[in-house]
Structure 1
Amino acid sequence: MTMKSVLLPLAALSALAACSTTNSGVDVTRFHLEQPVARGSVFLEPANPDRAGSLEFRTYADAVAAELRDIGFTVASTRDAAELIGTMDYMQATRQAIAERSPVSVGIGGGTFGSGLGVGLGTMFGLGGGKSGDIVTNMLELRLKRESDETTIWEGRATSEAREGDAQASLSADIPVLADRLLRDYPGQSGETVTYED
């Protein structure tokens, strides 16, 4: 069986976003192997190991775990008990900052999920840290890989936009929404970007 690597520059996503004012929906892009994507037990961990055990990560992981359970996964409390490892990353940045990031690739079968996954994108500014009126982009990324052979079976990214200072610009408030849209219709069409308006 041949695995297909799919490349998607983040700059292209940013360019599309820049064509409008704020995107009221959530844009979701997913990639997976050209085969049925199995459900199983998942252990969630942060892309940045420094976040492990933090209240922020536990809160965001709980939101992702709830959505995983809704679509038929079980969430393991330890890595040893899991069939799959779910690596999470999240960030908040202005649209300009997103656009200025180097283009990244989303790969299946040994590729990389962005320049940040595995390093930790972090929060590029805190709430209230941007200029008034800036467009804020919130992002959640998740990669699922088999624990047995470390093969990535699914990965996806969800992004939303709001104006700095608006309630919906809060990353902590937006994560449950991003998690819901990211895992809705799992596994989704590989390589396709879908906008959820509701």
Structure 2
Amino acid sequence: MSNPSMLKKIVLPSLLALGLGACATAVPPVEVTRFHIDNPARSGTIAVEEMAGNPDVGLEFRTYAAAVEQELQRVGFTAAGQGTAGQGARSDYVALVSFRRTFREPGSYGANGKPVSVGVGGAVGSGGYSGLGLGIGINLSGKPKGQVFTELQVQIRRRADSTTIWEGRAQTAAREGTPASQPGLAAQKLAAALLGGYPGESGRTITVK
């Protein structure tokens, strides 16, 4: 007959290991790059709006906009509200948000067997993009059967003169069908990684786990 105490010693550590493994897969790393002018604003009213040319429109955008707004409040800004033009016009700043979600089959990997890199261009300067380019080559390790790649871009502009004071982009990849590949969790993870420690070091690419 099996010893109950012995079974506990074997089963409990195994269950704990499985739980930790599940947590690890639920929060894949995020690569973040930010650019900003010297001493960008850290307070004031801000309205979250959709960036022109946002490739993914519809109800899902609200999930990402809400996550960005929450993180902006964490770093010191005050929400001016979304909706009418009057609300947005009264804000000191506007945060323009864009996101993209793409699915990649194994065939989308390069001839060398490595994931195809995701390039990001654009940089912040007085009045908008300076053309410097972020120059990111993201190569998240591993070769799963299928991955969902998600990118979030946020640009903060001063409402009075439309000067871009801060811009950042965050990207991550998660195995298809996992919790991390779902829009809700992806939006929260990307927004927290992108705006955490705002404004961050300008021009540097970091990995947030």
**Aligned match for 1:106, one of 123, 148, 173:** 123
After TM superposition, give the deviation of residue 172 of structure 1 in Å: 3.2
From the superposition, tell whether residues 191 and 45 of structure 1 become closer, same or farther in structure 2 (CA, over 3 Å). Answer: same
Alignment of 1:28 with 2:54, yes or no, is no
What does residue 97 of structure 2 align with?
A: 88
> Residue type of the partner of 1:168?
A
The alignment partner of 2:124 has SS state of coil
Tell me the equivalent position of 2:136: none
CA distance in 2, matches of 1:165, 1:58: 22
Q: Matches of 2:63 and 2:74 in 1, distance apart?
A: 17
Distance change in 2, residues 1:134/1:54 (3 Å): closer
Number of residue pairs the alignment of both structures matches = 159
Match of 2:139 in 1: none
For residues 2-151 of structure 1, what are the structure 2 equivalents within 5 Å? 24-48=28-52, 54-77=58-81, 78-94=87-103, 96=108, 99=116, 104-109=121-126, 110-111=128-129, 133-151=145-163
State the partner residue of 1:181.
Answer: 193
1:159 correspondence with 2:176: no
Unaligned residue ranges in structure 1 (runs of 5+) = 1-22, 114-131
Name the counterpart of 2:84: none
Distance change >3 Å, CA 147–CA 194, structure 1 → 2: same
Q: What amino acid is aligned across from residue 39 of structure 1 in structure 2? A: S
Instruction: For 2:59 and 2:154, locate their aligned partners in 1 and report how far apart those are by CA, in whole Å.
Output: 18
Aligned-residue CA RMSD (Å): 3.1
Q: Supply the distance in 2 between the matched residues of 1:175 and 1:62 (Cα, whole angstroms).
A: 9
Offset from partner CA, 1:64-107 (integer Å, 9 cap, x none): 11111111100112211101011000111246499587763233
Q: 1:170 to 1:191 in 2, by over 3 A?
A: same
Structure 2 Cα separation of the partners of residues 147 and 56 of structure 1: 25
User: How much has 1:161 moved relative to structure 2?
Assistant: 1.1
* % identical equivalent positions: 34
What secondary structure, in the 3-state scheme, does the structure 1 residue paired with 2:199 have? coil
